[in-house]
């Protein structure tokens, strides 16, 4: 698929493309800038002091999976019509994997659930979304979601074969920060439960498990 491209009146343009290992340093910087600014109103400062070094490091498995994306922006001075001083930076990241980051196939599956088909099926998860605070509310995260949805639909349409019983991807899940709940809700996700993500033996990070049902069509 070709990269998605968009722009703003501030004369910035961006593309959404799969991440790669060469992006690691810029992604680390993006995660640090995003989470340190955007999470501070919803999380205790002492908790963030411990958690941020753990959640602002780009994961190699995501950088190389092909379904986790970065948004690369090129910006120029609005008063200039030339390309002189063109600056490129990563202003967003996020994507999906075909499985939960937890050990369970579906993090929302109850222990007493006897639906073997649900247990056996991998549940796609949105992973590690972040936006540069300077580019907030410009559609960066929505652009990543659109790329995610399109690629996920393409994957399932290519792997369904002749069965064709699954017109859309199965239910999707995401471990959302408290801060991002409203964003994921706008995409059709509903909060299943509050949870604690063990970042280390001494750091449990409050999060929300959210789920988007198969029947929700954008």
Query: Residue 198: what are its φ and ψ, rounded to 5°?
Result: -75, 100
For residue 119, the model assigns a pLDDT of 41
Inside any domain, residue 217: no
Inside any domain, residue 218: no
Q: Over 50: is that where the pLDDT of 162 sits?
A: no
Inside any domain, residue 35: yes
For residue 169, the model assigns a pLDDT of 63
**Bigger pLDDT: 40 vs 117:** 40
**Bigger pLDDT: 214 vs 21:** 21
Write out the H or E segment, with its range, that includes residue 147: helix 140-159
The model carries a pTM of 0.80
| Helix/strand/coil for 87 | strand
For residue 183, the model assigns a pLDDT of 96
User: Lowest-confidence range among 24-38, 49-63, 91-105, 131-145?
Assistant: 91-105
Mean per-residue pLDDT over the chain, rounded: 83
pLDDT band at 148 (very low <50, low <70, confident <90, very high): very high
> What sign does the CA torsion over 129, 135, 138, 144 have?
negative
User: Lowest-confidence range among 90-99, 104-113, 129-138, 154-163?
Assistant: 104-113
Cα 76 to Cα 171: distance, rounded to the nearest angstrom: 41
Question: Residue 138 has what DSSP assignment?
Answer: S
Q: What is the domain count for the chain?
A: 1
Nearest 5°: CA angle at 52, between 46 and 57? 165
Q: Over 90: is that where the pLDDT of 46 sits?
A: yes
Note whether 56 and 35 are within 8 A (CB). yes
Mean pLDDT of 51-73: 96
> What sign does the CA torsion over 90, 86, 139, 206 have?
positive
User: Lowest-confidence range among 73-77, 114-118, 143-147?
Assistant: 114-118
Inside any domain, residue 161: yes
CATH number at residue 145: 3.40.630.30
Angle at which helix 45-55 crosses helix 24-38, to 10 degrees, equals: 160
Write out the H or E segment, with its range, that includes residue 69: strand 68-75
Inside any domain, residue 191: yes
Cα 90 to Cα 14: distance, rounded to the nearest angstrom: 9
Q: Over 90: is that where the pLDDT of 9 sits?
A: no
Q: Which domain does 10 fall in, by range?
A: 4-108+115-212
Q: Identify any residues that bridge with 88 across adjacent strands, giving them in sequence order.
A: 74
Mean pLDDT of 63-80: 82
For residue 76, the model assigns a pLDDT of 64
Q: Over 80: is that where the pLDDT of 84 sits?
A: no
Mean pLDDT of 17-46: 97
Cα maximum dimension of the chain: 63
For residue 125, the model assigns a pLDDT of 95
Note whether 19 and 148 are within 8 A (CB). no
Between strands 68-75 and 12-18, the pairing is antiparallel
Mean pLDDT of 90-98: 96
């Amino acid at each position: 698929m070709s990269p998605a491209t968009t722009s703003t009146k501030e004369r910035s343009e961006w593309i959404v493309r799969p991440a790669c290992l060469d992006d690691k340093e810029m992604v680390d910087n993006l995660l640090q800038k995003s989470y340190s600014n955007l999470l501070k109103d919803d999380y205790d400062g002492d908790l963030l002091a411990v958690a941020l070094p753990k959640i602002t490091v780009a994961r190699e498995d995501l950088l190389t999976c092909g379904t986790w994306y970065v948004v690369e922006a090129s910006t120029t001075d609005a008063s200039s019509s030339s390309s002189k001083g063109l600056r490129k930076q990563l202003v967003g990241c996020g994507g999906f994997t075909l499985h939960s980051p937890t050990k369970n196939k579906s993090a929302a599956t109850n222990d007493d659930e006897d639906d073997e088909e649900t247990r056996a099926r991998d549940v796609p998860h949105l992973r590690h979304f972040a936006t540069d605070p300077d580019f907030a509310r410009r559609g960066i995260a929505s652009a990543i979601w659109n790329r995610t949805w399109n690629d996920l639909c393409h994957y399932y349409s290519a792997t369904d074969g002749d069965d064709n019983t699954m017109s859309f991807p199965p239910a999707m899940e995401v471990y959302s920060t408290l801060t991002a709940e409203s964003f994921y809700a706008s995409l059709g996700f509903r909060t299943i439960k509050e949870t604690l993500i063990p970042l280390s033996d001494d750091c449990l990070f409050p999060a929300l498990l959210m789920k988007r049902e198969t029947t929700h069509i954008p």
